[in-house]
Structure 1
Amino acid sequence: MLKYLLYVVYILIGISLGVWLFPELQMLLPFEIPRIFNNILISGTLGVLLFFLLFGWTLSHAHNFLKKSEGYLLSRSLVEIVFATLGMVLGLVIAVLISLLINTLDIPLIGEIVPIVFAVVLGYLGFIIGLRKFSEVLDFFPKASQKAKADGNQIALKKFIDTSVIIDGRIIDVVETGFLEGEIIIPQFVLDELQLIADATDPVKREKGQRGLDMLNALQEKSRNVRIEPVTYDKLDVDQQLIEIAKKEKGAILTTDYNLNKICQLHDIPVLNVNELSGAIKTVVVQGDVFELFVSKTGKEENQGVGYLDDGTMVVVENGENLINQMVPVIVTSVLQTNSGRIVFAKLEKNK
């Protein structure tokens, strides 16, 4: 649909140029043109042919540019788009006022070129400021802000994703469940770091980087709220750059990095740690609980069997060596907390 619309725009531009340009050219020619060419249809048709001959190669580039722009706008919230539009309109109004002042000076050429430059620059600046600073504009209306908070209608924080959480991969399952609201933003420097890891000579690092790129593709497929944000930088320092961009955009950071988590807390930046989330939703088992367990291997001690809960917690079954590769009912006898996690001790439930 967009491509056909571009064709229509190009045809209209060609017709306009032909109707305006060819009569002027005929007056400049030293010989008389046949009357058949003194026709608006002929002029328009020749204008379309000439325009496509000269600028037809730009059609695919214009189509790709508009597609990217469409994807960029669709990834933004309606509030951001409204404020960006208002900012652009305000920028254009300021450009018109400046142009009126310049026209009073009556300076040749400047009065024609400068207004166009001001319109482009101020329109763009207004759009960007409205897009990036809309949350600060909302802060000027405390009553509206308080009402929004009271109604529970706060705008969801932007989430800036760390390299570690992409390589980890569990974020894909979290996104798929719909627990994360708002935009998930992958800054360009995070993507660059992933590329560096994927191109490393160390096979372990290279495998991690390639896994991260695969996870990133899967993440973009799972959610429409995921986007890559271009960021210019002088030196690649992902942790520091994440902190700076989260401060600037008043967003949160998604990570599995313990040290980055602590640094963000010092800077008063909201952190969403996937490891903490995983720990919070682990299956809670206490002494006396009965559940079905698949015994997968033998334990370290004599006559022990070992199985695992859905969250990966190890369950050691007393007298379970002969139950390997079987699904059996067990009862929890004790739970041991260690530095590496929990270990559940159980025995066969004889009542079942």
Structure 2
Amino acid sequence: MNIIKMIVVASYAILGAALGVVIIPSVARDTGVLNAYPWLTNKYIISLIGIVLFFIIFGVFIPRVIKSLRKLEYFIMRHSAIEILFAAIGLIMGLLISVMISFILNLIGSSLFLHVLPIIITVFLSYLGFQFGLKKRDEMLMFLPEKMARSAHLNTYSAAPKIIDTSAVIDGRILDVIKCGFLDGEILIPQGVINELQIVADSTDSVKRDKGQHGLDILNQIHDASYPTRIIHPQKSYNDIDALLIKLAHKYKADVITTDFNLNKICHVQGVKVLNVNDLSEAVKPTVRQGDQLNLLLTKMGKEPGQGVGYLEDGTMVVIDDAKAYVGKHVDIEITSILQTSSGRIIFAKLI
């Protein structure tokens, strides 16, 4: 039994016992059964009866209460302490205003005003004050001294969590990015990604099996690294791993780390921010411009007649026209054009 469930069960027991002590003797006295059952005045007995009745009547709502408390816990943990503090200040302001309005209504003396409107006003102003304090914290910081306001503003920043995709795990480069400290925010590992890696690792195809085992090794290193990671378990099962990642990204307000070009496009349509490892790799590659001259080893023939192919140190493919005869040799080339895509970069060159 987890802590939240224990708290809910204990609260149910306390409420049931309290209501039993308060209500049962009154009901027994009004119905005239108190004389026949004098033990209904025993506080220990009626407390137990109250607990049992409370669980029988309201026990069906326990899962909903636990779910609501978990949502509240997630809401609080997702925001910084400064945000929660200002939200609490806004809530208190709303309650104080509602007390003053209730006092004014009390002077009017109408029973409708006394019993109905104060409750509505209190609930409305409490919610409004909480949202005001949470959303307008930056403007409220202006009332603080400059140094204190600057410190509080810096503490309100919280990085979005990152959900890692199967393709990014198998690719493996994300591990080096994490170790270098270029990521911020918690790394979330969906259980569906782990299951997909296990399926690939158990494949009869040797290539797929090697990729799956490599992915599991990378995943273990990410989880064991000195970086905040967490395995998340979706409440529903999804046959499509991409749909699962989109759903979790919306739920946790997270970014998605991937090398999958199709998932990149789906996330863009669904309004989810994507961190594409291929795009990062392209961004940090040495800059090669049209007209640059290089000395390159040609390693194989190209697809088109007469073409030769070589590779830069970062793995970028270079296609050279009329260089088939020089495969296996170093040649001097000049860059003529560069084709940039989300899946990689291809450079075209000519002999000089």
TM-score of the superposition, structure 2-length normalised?
0.58
Q: Which moved more, 1:330-339 or 1:273-282?
A: 273-282
Superposition RMSD in Å:
4.9
Shift of 1:276: 7.8
Identify the residue that residue 128 of structure 1 maps to in structure 2.
131
Q: Secondary structure at 2:111's aligned position in 1? A: coil
Q: Secondary structure at 2:106's aligned position in 1? A: helix
Q: Secondary structure at 2:246's aligned position in 1? A: helix
Shift of 1:81: 1.4
Shift of 1:59: 0.4
Instruction: Decide whether aligned partners of structure 1 residues 320 and 10 sit closer, same or farther in structure 2, where only a CA change above 3 A counts.
Output: farther
8 Å CA contact retained: 1:305, 1:320: no
8 Å CA contact retained: 1:254, 1:274: no
Identify the residue that residue 58 of structure 1 maps to in structure 2.
61
Shift of 1:180: 5.8
Identify the residue that residue 48 of structure 1 maps to in structure 2.
51
Identify the residue that residue 30 of structure 1 maps to in structure 2.
32
Instruction: Decide whether aligned partners of structure 1 residues 321 and 73 sit closer, same or farther in structure 2, where only a CA change above 3 A counts.
Output: farther
Could you tell me which amino acid in structure 2 is paired with residue 104 of structure 1?
A: L
Identify the residue that residue 216 of structure 1 maps to in structure 2.
246
Q: How many angstroms apart in 1 are the aligned matches of 2:284 and 2:317?
A: 16
1:192-214 Cα offsets, whole Å, 9 max, x none, are: xxxxxxxxxxxxxxxxxx67535
Shift of 1:343: 1.3
**Is 1:83 aligned with 2:86?**
yes
**Is 1:302 aligned with 2:332?**
no
Q: Secondary structure at 1:116's aligned position in 2? A: helix
Counterpart selection for 2:254 from 183, 201, 226: 226
Q: How many angstroms apart in 2 are the aligned matches of 1:296 and 1:315?
A: 11
Instruction: Give 5+ residue unaligned stretches, structure 2.
Output: 188-239, 256-266
8 Å CA contact retained: 1:84, 1:126: yes
Identify the residue that residue 146 of structure 2 maps to in structure 1.
143
Identify the residue that residue 21 of structure 1 maps to in structure 2.
23
1:269-293 Cα offsets, whole Å, 9 max, x none, are: xxxx999866532333564577xx8
1:235-254 Cα offsets, whole Å, 9 max, x none, are: xxx99x98xxxxxxxxxx95
Identify the residue that residue 9 of structure 1 maps to in structure 2.
11
1:76-123 Cα offsets, whole Å, 9 max, x none, are: 222221111111111111112222222233333542333332222211
Instruction: Decide whether aligned partners of structure 1 residues 44 and 211 sit closer, same or farther in structure 2, where only a CA change above 3 A counts.
Output: closer
Instruction: Decide whether aligned partners of structure 1 residues 48 and 77 sit closer, same or farther in structure 2, where only a CA change above 3 A counts.
Output: same
Q: How many angstroms apart in 1 are the aligned matches of 2:106 and 2:12?
A: 32
Shift of 1:169: 8.4
Q: Secondary structure at 2:336's aligned position in 1? A: strand
Q: Secondary structure at 1:343's aligned position in 2? A: strand
8 Å CA contact retained: 1:296, 1:307: no
Shift of 1:54: 0.8
Aligned-pair identity (%): 27
Instruction: Give 5+ residue unaligned stretches, structure 1.
Output: 185-209, 228-237, 243-252, 257-272, 324-328, 348-352
Instruction: Decide whether aligned partners of structure 1 residues 65 and 153 sit closer, same or farther in structure 2, where only a CA change above 3 A counts.
Output: closer
Q: Secondary structure at 1:56's aligned position in 2? A: helix
Identify the residue that residue 336 of structure 1 maps to in structure 2.
336
Number of residue pairs the alignment of both structures matches: 269
Q: Which moved more, 1:1-10 or 1:95-104?
A: 95-104
Q: How many angstroms apart in 2 are the aligned matches of 1:139 and 1:322?
A: 68
Q: Secondary structure at 1:316's aligned position in 2? A: strand
Shift of 1:137: 2.2
1:206-227 Cα offsets, whole Å, 9 max, x none, are: xxxx675354368689xx7628
Could you tell me which amino acid in structure 1 is paired with residue 17 of structure 2?
A: I
Q: Secondary structure at 1:46's aligned position in 2? A: helix
Q: Secondary structure at 1:333's aligned position in 2? A: strand
Counterpart selection for 1:93 from 92, 96, 99: 96
Could you tell me which amino acid in structure 2 is paired with residue 304 of structure 1?
A: G
Instruction: Decide whether aligned partners of structure 1 residues 307 and 13 sit closer, same or farther in structure 2, where only a CA change above 3 A counts.
Output: same
Identify the residue that residue 246 of structure 1 maps to in structure 2.
none
Shift of 1:66: 1.0
Shift of 1:147: 5.0
Shift of 1:22: 0.9
Q: How many angstroms apart in 2 are the aligned matches of 1:3 and 1:144?
A: 42
Q: How many angstroms apart in 2 are the aligned matches of 1:79 and 1:330?
A: 61
TM-score of the superposition, structure 1-length normalised?
0.58
1:159-196 Cα offsets, whole Å, 9 max, x none, are: 8x9xxxx9x989x959x746465799xxxxxxxxxxxx
Shift of 1:35: 2.0
**Is 1:103 aligned with 2:131?**
no
**Is 1:316 aligned with 2:319?**
yes
Shift of 1:330: 6.0
